[in-house]
Chains A and B, each alone.
Chain A
C-alpha cells in the first residue's frame, strides 16, 4: 500500500505532466507566439508613435501609466486564450475520452490545466513589463525606475491570476469552448467594467468588490486619486481602488473562483 507521501508526490508529478502537456498544446496552437508578440508590439507602439509624431511624456511615471493602461487588455486576451477552452474543450472535442480514463485524479488534471493557463499569461505580463522597462530606461535613464514599477508589475501578475480564474470558471461550467472563451473575455472586458462604471458614475458607490475595478491599481500606483470634471451640478467623483483592498479582492477572486471552477470540473462527467 502506498504511503500518503508517495501518493502526494505522484499527484504533484501528474499535475506537472499536465502543465507540460498544456504548455506544449499552447505552443502548437501558436497561442504563445501570438500573445508574446502582442506583449512586445503593444508597448512598442507607445514608443514609436511619440518618437515619430510627438514628444514623450514629461515623466517616466506618466509614460509607464499610459503604456500600462493596455496591460489589462493583454491579460484578458491571454487569460481567455489560455484558459477559455481548458475544461470545456475536453468535453466538446471529446478528447476527455482519451484523457480522463487514465490513472490520475481528475483534480490533478484540472489543477494542471489552470496552472498551464496561468504560466503563459504571467509570462505575457512579464514580457510586456520588460519591454516597458526597456523603453523607460531608454528614454528617461536607469534612474527613472522606482518601486512603483515593481508594485505595478506585482499587481498585474495578481490580476492575471484573477482573470485566469474568471475564465477558468466559465470553462468549467459551459459546454462549448467558444462560448466559455468569449464569455470570459467579455465579462472582464465589458460586463464587469460596465457594472463598475454604472456603480461609480450613476449610483456613486465605490465598486471595490469588482475585480476589473481593482485592476485599476496597475496604473493607479503611479498617481493619486483624481477628480474629473462634471456637469453643472458639480464634479463627479472618480473612485480609485485602495491598494490593499484591491489586492484582497484580486486574491479572493483568484482563490474563490479557482476552487469553484475546480469543484465543478471534477464533478462534471462525460455523459
Chain B
C-alpha cells in the first residue's frame, strides 16, 4: 500500500521578467516520512522550486501542494505543518535567540509553557544554549545558521524544507546536521533537502530528484542509484611506462572497456561497462596482452556524484 503524498508539484513553471525560465514543468510527489534530496547545479531551479513551495514566490503555471493544499492559494493552512530554511536568511541582529524563537512559537500557536520548553530543547539541539540571551549580532555565520535551523524545527513540523542546510557550517556542524536529519527520519518527518554536497545527500536521503536546466531529469531511490552505479565500475590502473595518446586508443578497442582517461603520466582510469569481478580480471589480462605492463590497480567506488556527473554529461551531450 502506498503512503500518503504530503508534497507534490504539478507541472510547475516559473518564468522571470527577464525571460529566464527557472523552473520548467516540474512534477514530483513525495511520500510521508521520505527524506528526499533535490539536486542540481547552480541555476538549475532548486531554490526557485523551494521558494514556490514556501509561498515566497508564485509560479507562472502549475501548482505546489502540501498535504493536498495549494501553498500559493492557501499558504496559511498549507504552511502550518512546514518548517523551512531557505537560502541564507538574515536574523534580526538586535534580538536574542530566545526573543526570536518566542515570536515564532506564538505565531505557530504554541502555548506559553511549551514555547519555554521548546526554546530550551531546540537551542540545546543546535548548541546555542549558552547564547540564548546574547544578541544575534554578536554571532558567527555558523551560529546564525544554527539559529535559523532552530527556528525551522521549533514548532515540530511534520515536513521540513531545507535549502542548502549545511551551508556555512563547519565539519562538526555538518555532522550534527546530518544526525539531526536522521533523527527526523526516525520520527517520520518528511524532509525535502536541496544540496550541492552529494555525499551528504547520499548519507541521509532515501531518494533523490535531479534537476537540470529547470527540469527534473531523474527521480529514484538512493539504493537503486547505487545499483545502477555498480554497473559502471571504475578502475585506476598504474602502468610501468608512460602512456601515449595512441596507447589510450588501443585500450579503448578492448571490448569490455567503455572509456579510458589519463590521470597522470603512467596512470589511467578505466570505465568498465559492468561490475562483474570476472570481467575485471579478463579486462586486466587483455591490457597485459596488448603490451602494457601493469604495476598496480585499484577499483574505485562509483557514487552519487559520478551518477550525477554522468547524467549531466548525458544532458549536455544531448544539446
Contacts and interface: CB of A to CB of B under 8 A. Distances in A.
Nearest to B57: A269
Contacts of B55: 100-101
Contact of A101 (B56, B94, B106, B108): B56
A93 B79 CA distance: 23
B107 interface: yes
A105 B75 contact: yes
B76 interface: yes
Nearest to A26: B94
Interface string B17-50: 0000000000000000000000000000000000
B57 A97 contact: no
B79 A102 contact: yes
Interface stretch (B81-89, B187-195, B214-222, B232-240): B81-89
Contacts, number: 82
A259 B107 CA distance: 24
Contact of B148 (A2, A96, A98): A98
Contacts of A102: 79, 104, 107-108
Contacts of B94: 25, 28-29
A103 interface: yes
Contacts of A28: 94-95, 99
Given A24-B99, A101-B79, A103-B80, A269 B91 contact: no
A201 interface: no
Nearest to A14: B107
A101 B90 contact: no
A246 B106 CA distance: 41
Interface in A6-45: 10, 14, 17, 20-21, 24-25, 28-29
Interface residues of A, number: 26
Contacts of A14: 107
Contacts of A10: 76
A104 B79 CA distance: 8
Interface in B245-289: none
Contact of A25 (B57, B88, B92): B92
B63 interface: no
B89 A98 contact: yes
A98 B106 contact: no
B77 interface: yes
Contacts of B58: 269
A270 interface: yes
B76 A103 contact: yes
A271 interface: yes
- The residue in A2, A21, A102, A104 that gathers the most chain B C-beta atoms within 10 A of its C-beta is A102
A103 B77 contact: yes
Interface of B: 16, 51, 54-58, 75-80, 82, 84, 86-92, 94-95, 99, 103-104, 106-108, 148, 151, 161
7 contacts: A97-B88, A97-B90, A101-B79, A103-B75, A104-B107, A269-B51, A271-B51
